[in-house]
Amino acid sequence: MQEKIDQYTAEINAFSPANADELEVFRIKFLGTKGLIKDLFEEFKAVGPEEKRVFGKVLNQFKQMAEAKYAELKDGLDSGLKAQDLSLDLTLPGDGFEVGSRHPLSLVRNEIIDIFKRLGFVVAEGPEIEDDWHNFSALNFPQEHPARDMQDTFFIRKGDGSDDIALRTHTSSVQVRMMENGKPPFRAIMPGRVYRNEAISARAHCFFHQVEGLYVDENVSFSDLKQTLFHFVQELYGEGTKVRFRPSYFPFTEPSAEMDISCTICKGDGCNMCKYTGWVEILGCGMVDPNVLENCGIDSKKYTGFAFGMGIERITNLKYVIRDLRLFSENDVRFLKQFQTDII
Ligand code: PHE
């Protein structure tokens, strides 16, 4: 019996498995239910009392040694296998990851907001689904008046057949909400998405983005309007950019004007962008019509105000010369990545 124990001990100590299969063969051979250690314990039952005293201890120690060896080999094999499976090369560089960039329209909108914030304007927002009152009636568009056709509206027909709900056609609706719910003075800009029923092409889209502005207080005059917008243009397009005002018509302002700036591309020499006139139109503006003030519960004898509205897409085009409006909504990262120079 001692002989066998010595022989097995030597075999166990020398054993070094190359893989899990070899270790399993080892386990079955020595530690299995029909293994050699089990046999030794069977043999042990048959020996005399004298030998039992000697071998009891020896046999148990041998069994523990075999089990410990198995556990140790299994551990070693497991961790070895893990490293092998992953085939880790710790010197490999990590995977790069893409940093997103801001949409050019957001960049320009934020720039516009910043300029007006420095002049004391706050930002106001309102719903994109509007009722007739806020989008039209309060703004002096009489029912059935052709002025409503200036803006091709997406009406939303309700269950009862009425259609006084629409996608807002301009953010002037936010001006109405602001004046209805507060007291003058007001000095705010309203950025937001607006909708018009136009066929999608390089030059038109069924939605676009606006920033409108409103300033209502005592003694606000057209010269305040001119100077505010002149300052805005100098900030956005650089000192020396010229402006000119042309008479125009909007139901909600009187007098009304459109403002042109000297072409940002050719600096007034004439190019494709300004159709060789040297000027490009960037916004509509005017003094808030007294009817609009009254519609919103503001005393038009005491208060006057100016308002203006511009399309962010147009302003962005003049900054970056983007020839096709559709690029703004396609979200092609190759386009979007070209605008942000700093990572915020
Ligand atoms: N709401 C007008 C538009 O959608 C722009 C505008 C705003 C004009 C304020 C004058 C005053 O085109």
Nearest-CA residue for atom 5 of ligand 1: 309
Alpha-carbon distance of 131 to 156, in angstroms, equals 10
Residues 181 and 125: their CA atoms lie apart, in Å, by 13
Contact in structure between 208 and 313 (CB atoms under 8 Å): yes
Ligand 1 pocket test target in 153, 172, 226, 253 with most atoms within 8 Å of CB:
172
Residue 147 is predicted with a pLDDT of 63
Of the candidates 251, 215, 229, 212, which has an alpha carbon nearest to the alpha carbon of residue 126?
A: 212
Asked if residue 225 lies in contact with residue 245, where contact means CB atoms within 8 angstroms, the answer is no
User: What pLDDT score was predicted for residue 155?
Assistant: 86
Q: Tokens standing for 257?
A: 């004007």
How far is the C-alpha of 295 from the C-alpha of 132, rounded, in Å? 13
Q: Is 314 in the pocket of ligand 1 (CB under 6 A)?
A: no
Q: Whose CA is nearest to atom 6 of ligand 1?
A: 309
Would you give per-residue pLDDT tens digits along the chain (344 residues)? 788 888 988 888 888 888 888 888 888 998 888 888 888 888 888 888 888 887 888 888 888 988 998 888 888 877 766 655 566 777 888 888 877 889 999 999 999 999 999 999 999 999 999 999 999 999 998 887 776 766 688 888 888 877 789 999 999 999 999 999 999 999 999 999 999 988 888 888 999 999 999 999 999 999 999 999 999 999 999 999 999 999 999 999 999 999 999 998 888 888 888 889 999 999 999 999 999 999 999 999 999 999 999 999 999 988 888 888 899 999 898 899 888 766 54
pTM above 0.75, yes or no: no
Report how far ligand 1's centroid is from the alpha carbon of 50 (Å). 113
DSSP 43: H
16-34 tens-digit pLDDT: 888 888 888 888 998 888 8
Q: For residue 287, what are the β-bridge partners?
A: 306
DSSP 11-41: HHHH---SSHHHHHHHHHHHHSTTSHHHHHH
Identity of residue 107: L
Q: Give yes or no for residue 284 CB within 6 A of ligand 1.
A: yes
**Cβ neighbours for 121, distance < 8 A, ≥ 6 positions apart:** 187, 188, 189, 213, 215
pLDDT at 85: 57
256 Cα: distance to centroid of ligand 1 (angstroms) = 9
pLDDT for res 48: 83
* Rounded distance between C-alpha atoms, residue 342 and residue 344, angstroms: 6
| pLDDT at site 72 | 87
Amino acid at the residue 98: E
Task: Supply the residue whose CA is at minimum distance from atom 7 of ligand 1.
Answer: 309
299 near 293, Cβ under 8 Å? yes
Asked if 214 contacts 288 with a C-beta cutoff of 8 angstroms, the reply is: yes
The pLDDT tens digits of the residues spanning 39-83 come to 888 888 888 888 888 788 888 888 898 899 888 888 887 776 665
What pLDDT is stored for residue 342 in this prediction? 64
Quick check: CB of 308 below 6 Å from ligand 1?
yes
Distances (CA, A) of 263 to 71, 204, 325: 82, 20, 19
CA of 212 to the centre of ligand 1 (A): 7
Please work out whether the CB of residue 172 comes within 6 Å of at least one atom of ligand 1: yes
Q: How many Cβ atoms from other residues are within 10 Å of residue 165's Cβ?
A: 14
Pocket test for ligand 1, best of 169, 174, 212, 306 (most atoms within 8 A of CB): 212
pLDDT digits over 89-123, tens only? 778 888 888 778 899 999 999 999 999 999 999 99
- pLDDT of 101 reads 85
